[in-house]
């Protein structure tokens, strides 16, 4: 603050008292710059093959749902105002292969879930991820050949996965793999096959983060990846200008909206993306962020509900138009309570 601004601030006190607009609930609500609504939240949710356990040890109160269980859960969430889900499949380890061939099984659990949900809840948007990590025995988001994740070969399979998801009834595909050029190739293939109305939410700035660990346990890809890493294709947490370039490229290739992942440690990236491009921008409140909050609350260190509302408000304040979160249903319940 400059010397001049200090003089101005001090000269108008006590005429200007900032605390007057904080004194009562009604005035705080009236002057609030950021608000939350049910439409702001996309529920990140796992669908499992029936043989697998629903429990996720590192994510308290989050479950892998069978298709029937998922239908019941989405129905309840829909009554609370849920508008969209982000769906992630969990398959048996025996079906994971080096070439991810289970994703070509049209009767697989992901496609079945999409079809059932779309039939029962046509008004709820279904967002799916064509990355390969749910289906590979190495846990990478693309193919893995000669100790590398080859870009162009991976994009070919990712495009086919996106097409199969669209054919099953997905409303939007959200490629999280961070392969170069995949947005343009997905858009081209979807358009060629008549799926012009299927949108693309690009994980345009997905960082190589430690906050994904509980998600990998939920998928079962943590054991696959072992000591490997994804730093050759996911972004360096040290960089933000690179993220702006990634967003620009994905938009030029046909992305309808973009996402920054993880969320809370990257609020500055969300802000810069929103200010620079003025496009629909989303944040992913990832598994590690959820787990830290939940575990801290269970230990009595903080209030889960109050801190969750604060976190979601911060996402919106930073420029996010919406948030993908495991806490979506909790937020919907809190909003209902008022």
Axis crossing angle, helix 267-277 with helix 304-318, rounded to the nearest 10? 30
Query: Residue 301, SS3?
Result: coil
Distance CA 190, CA 203 (A): 18
Question: Could you confirm whether 261 is annotated as catalytic?
Answer: yes
Question: Could you confirm whether 112 is annotated as catalytic?
Answer: no
Half-sphere exposure of 187 (CA within 13 A, CB side): 16
Strands (E), the chain: 41-48, 64-65, 84-90, 125-128, 172-173, 199-206, 257-261, 281-285, 322-325
Both tokens of residue 303? 């209030």
What is the length of the chain? 338
φ and ψ of 101, to 5 deg: -70, -20
Query: Residue 207, SS3?
Result: strand
| Residue 194 backbone zone (phi > 0: left; psi -120 to 50: alpha; other: beta) | left
Q: Which position among 230, 261, 294, 316 bears the catalytic label? A: 261
**305 in a known ligand binding site:** no
Q: Which position among 112, 206, 274, 316 bears the catalytic label? A: 206
**Binding site listing for Mg(2+):** 246
- Positions at the binding site: 246
> Which positions are catalytic?
206, 261
């Amino acid at each position: 603050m400059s010397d001049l601004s200090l003089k101005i601030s001090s000269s108008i006190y006590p005429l200007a008292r900032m605390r007057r607009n904080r004194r009562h609930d009604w005035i705080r609500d009236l002057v609030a710059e950021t608000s939350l609504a049910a439409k702001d939240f996309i529920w990140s949710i796992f669908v499992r093959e029936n043989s697998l356990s629903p429990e996720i040890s590192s994510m308290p109160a989050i479950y892998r749902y069978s298709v029937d269980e998922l239908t019941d859960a989405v129905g309840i969430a829909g009554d609370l105002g849920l508008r969209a889900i982000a769906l992630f499949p969990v398959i048996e380890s025996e079906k994971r292969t080096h070439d991810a061939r289970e994703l070509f099984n049209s009767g697989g659990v992901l496609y079945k879930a999409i079809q059932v949900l779309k039939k029962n809840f046509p008004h709820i948007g279904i967002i799916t991820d064509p990355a390969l990590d749910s289906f590979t025995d190495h846990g990478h988001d693309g193919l893995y050949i000669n100790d590398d994740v080859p870009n162009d070969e991976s994009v070919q399979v990712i495009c086919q996965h996106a097409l199969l998801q669209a054919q099953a009834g997905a409303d939007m595909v959200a490629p999280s793999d961070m392969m170069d050029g995949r947005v343009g190739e997905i858009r081209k293939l979807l358009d060629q096959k008549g799926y012009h109305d299927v949108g693309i939410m690009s994980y345009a700035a997905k960082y190589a983060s430690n906050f994904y660990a509980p998600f990998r346990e939920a998928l079962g890809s943590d054991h696959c990846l072992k000591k490997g890493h994804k730093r050759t294709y996911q972004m360096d947490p040290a960089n933000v200008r690179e993220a702006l370039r990634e967003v620009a490229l994905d938009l030029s290739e046909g992305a309808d909206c973009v996402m920054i992942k993880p969320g809370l440690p990257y609020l500055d990236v969300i802000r810069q993306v929103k200010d620079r491009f003025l496009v629909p921008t989303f944040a992913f409140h990832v598994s590690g962020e959820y787990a830290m909050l939940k575990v801290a609350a269970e230990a009595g260190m903080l209030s889960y509900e109050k801190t969750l509302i604060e976190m979601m408000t911060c996402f919106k304040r930073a420029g996010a138009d919406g948030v993908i979160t495991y806490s979506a249903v909790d937020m919907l319940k809190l909003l209902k309570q008022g």
